[in-house]
Structure 1
Amino acid sequence: MTLDDLRVFAAVCRSGSLSGAARDLGCTQSAVSQHVKRLERELGLSLLERHPRGVAPTSAGRLLHTAVTEGLGRIDQTVRRIEELARAEGGSVRVTTGATTVRHFMAAAVVDFRRRFPRASLEFQTETSSRGCFDALTTGAVDLAWITLRPAGGGVEQRPVVHLPWSLAVAAGDPLAAKSFIEPVDLQDARLIGLPENSTARIQLGSRLAESGIRPIFDTSVTDWDSAILLAELGLGHAVVPTLPEWTGPGHPDLRLIPIPALPALTAGWAVRRWDALSPLARAFADTVAHHCARRAGK
């Protein structure tokens, strides 16, 4: 049993197929299969169940996958820190988040962090969902994930940073634009622009509207809030969105963001495997982002 065997097995579990793991790893499907077979011979148990559309871990495979993702992640993190010490460099911070997060929550913090740590490097990996961010964390691919927070679990620790009230984004000429605030009942039978169904924010929004007996129809799907707001500004629909400061003010005369006070705010922030195992540099970046978010909220 080798580390390569374990890495390949984790890739198979992550992708759900031997061919998908081969693509991710840049090798042949036969090579992936040989790694898995070697593990199964070593352990004396089947680790994968073959299905028409891929594979899934058996009960033994799930146990191994959990141990592998946590163990390899910690090994990779430690090796990186040792290499940085050996090179006497400033080190790096790897962050995964959505496509527009840097613009809305991190721009000032990145400038501040670069000034304080000029030799450090920042690596941003874009994901389209919180699940993708969680996967990157558990495999050790990143140090920090900026996500929409969800109930605790999944082997990660979460820390709230910002609370974002919900608003309805509409074009200035829309009949709802004259309202000073929106009630959930105003959204009954509304056809909305929204994030994909499996996104944490979309699930939370649907649940909160359902508590008021409202089940709107999401007939347009986008990958980020900025796209949803832009389409609403162009008069192509309505979007229930977090209130993002960059979209308010005189720069968007054709857009209205109308508060929905009855909906609990959306909470975003950091997720990590373990705060006490985070490198000092990564912790400094997380704290810098939180500081600038708090300062902007206090204005």
Structure 2
Amino acid sequence: MGEVNLNRWAVFVALVRAGSFTAAAEQLGLTKAMVSQHLVRLERELGVTLLVRSTRRMTLTEAGMDFHADCVRILGEAEAAIARMGENREIPRGTLRLTAPVNYGAMVVAPALASFLRACPEVSTELVLDDGISDLIGGRFDLAIRGGPLRDSGLHAVRLAGFRQLLVAAPAYLDARGRPRRPQDLADHDAILLSVLSSPANWTFTARNGSHTRVRLTRRAVADSAAAVHAMALAGAGVAVLPDFMVQAELATGRLEHLLRTQRLPEGSFHAVYAGLHAPAKVRAFIDHLRARLAGGAE
């Protein structure tokens, strides 16, 4: 048997359902000759006779009856599969598997997932927290939340929100070592560095007048987790640069102080990253939900 054109299957099913070449041609929007030609070619491709035709009627052969039953089943399954794909494009459902950095994932993504699940009852989630760059395809992730500069790739990225990086320290440390008044004063201070950054000791401060001051912090402690840097800063080990969302509560209660407030450090950003041309509804819905929440528009 050679290559079989599946489009002819649909013509064959329509012909049997209509009961005549004329009626089938009208239903399909084809000429009667084209319907007949499709049938002839299908029989040639299969190497069997499907219909016995006379001037007044047509009758299915035994092979035709068996093939017709298979065609109806297969085409029905195909239509159901297409309908399911349409539902997946429109209705958030299934398991949303995503990965995010440890601290941002715990402090921002996880609460957003909780409210998202309340809004989308047909979705369940699997959240994997990892400060590394997870392999979306190999890890079977629908979505990744990533911070910092994005690597050039074929993945699609949607910007979620920016964040400020703040220079902070505990009051007890500052009482003992003094409070820096300008970036150059940091040379006399101990720094807690985050090792996963490309240049954790080198920072550029920008004053209100637009002038830049580059400084190199004096390393006293290094950690590979922002949570560890945060904990050591709270314990008075030195100054640290941390994202604003991690230190807001401590700044409000006075457990940490924001240093050099008239100077700004480079801002960071987070992106939602996914593979493929068309994101499923569950992915699109969560990205929209997270962006609205970050903008203050979702509970």
TM-score by length of structure 2 reads 0.57
Deviation at 1:261, TM superposition (A): 3.2
Q: What SS is found at the alignment partner of 2:99? A: strand
Greater Cα offset, 186-195 or 163-172: 186-195
Q: Does 2:115 align with 1:112?
A: yes
Distance across 1 between alignment mates of 2:137 and 2:99: 12
Q: Distance in 1 between matches of 2:131 and 2:230?
A: 17
Three-state SS of the structure 2 residue aligned to 1:100 is helix
Q: Distance in 1 between matches of 2:216 and 2:266?
A: 17
Q: Which moved more, 1:120-129 or 1:169-178?
A: 169-178
Identity %: 20
Alignment of 1:98 with 2:101, yes or no, is yes
The aligned counterpart of 1:128 is 131
Q: Give secondary structure in 2 for the equivalent of 1:169.
A: strand
Q: Which amino acid aligns with 2:148?
A: L
Asked if the contact 1:160/1:267 (under 8 Å) is kept, the reply is yes
Contact 1:189 1:215 in 2 (8 A): no
Letter in 2 for 1:154: S
Runs of 4+ that moved beyond 4 A = 176-179, 204-208, 249-252
Amino acid at match of 2:266: P
The answer to whether the aligner puts 1:261 opposite 2:263 as a matched pair is yes
Contact 2:193 2:201 in 1 (8 A): no
Partner of 2:238: 237
Provide the C-alpha distance between the structure 2 equivalents of 1:92 and 1:207, rounded to a whole number of angstroms: 41
Q: Does residue 204 of structure 2 align to residue 209 of structure 1?
A: yes
Q: Which amino acid aligns with 2:173?
A: D
> 1:293 Cα shift?
0.8
What CA deviation, in whole Å up to 9, does each residue of 1:172-207 have, x standing for no partner? 12338986x8643233364322222xx3xx226556
Tell me the equivalent position of 1:5. none
C-alpha separation in 2, matches of 1:167 and 1:155: 32
Matched residue, 2:225: 224
Are residues 261 and 230 of structure 1, via their aligned partners in 2, closer, same or farther at CA, if it must alter by over 3 Å? Answer: same
Secondary structure class of the residue paired with 1:236: coil
* Cα deviation 1:19-72 (Å, max 9, x = unaligned): xxxxxxxxxxxxxxxxxxxxxxxxxxxxxxxxxxxxxxxxxxxxxxxxxxxxxx
Q: Which has the higher helix share?
A: 1
Match of 1:171 in 2: 170
Is this contact kept in 2: 1:182–1:260, CA < 8 A? no
Cα separation, 2, equivalents of 1:286 and 1:215: 37
Q: Which residue type is aligned with residue 117 of structure 1?
A: C
* Structure 2, gaps ≥5 residues long: 1-83, 206-211
Task: Report the alpha carbon displacement of residue 252 of structure 1 after superposing the two structures with TM.
Answer: 4.3
Structure 2 SS opposite 1:268: strand
SS of alignment partner, residue 139 of structure 1: coil
CA pair 249-221 structure 1, distance change in 2 beyond 3 A: closer
Shift in CA distance, 143/182, structure 1 to aligned 2, threshold 3 Å: farther
Distance 1:182 1:116, change over 3 A: farther
Query: 2:251 & 2:235 partners in 1: Cα distance?
Result: 16
The code of the aligned residue for 1:99 comes to V
Matches within 5 A, 1:132-143: 132-133=133-134, 136-139=135-138, 141-143=140-142
Preserved CA contact (<8 Å) 2:159 2:270: yes
Q: What secondary structure does 2:128 align onto?
A: strand
Do the aligned residues in 1 keep the contact of 2:202 with 2:217 (CA within 8 Å)?
no
> Which runs of 5 or more residues in structure 1 are unaligned?
1-80
The equivalent residue for 1:162 is 161
Q: Which moved more, 1:143-152 or 1:244-253?
A: 244-253
Aligned in 2, Cα 1:104/1:223: closer, same or farther, shift over 3 Å?
A: same
Over aligned residue pairs, what C-alpha RMSD do you find? 3.5
2: CA distance, partners of 1:291 / 1:157:
19
Q: How many residues align?
A: 204
How far 1:271 sits from its partner (Å)?
Answer: 1.9
Q: Residues of 2 paired with 1:194 and 1:221: CA distance?
A: 5
Whether the aligned pair in 2 keeps the contact of 1:93 and 1:282 (CA below 8 Å) is yes
Return the alpha-carbon distance in structure 1 between the equivalents of residues 164 and 182 of structure 2. Answer: 13
**Deviation of 1:141 (Å):** 2.1
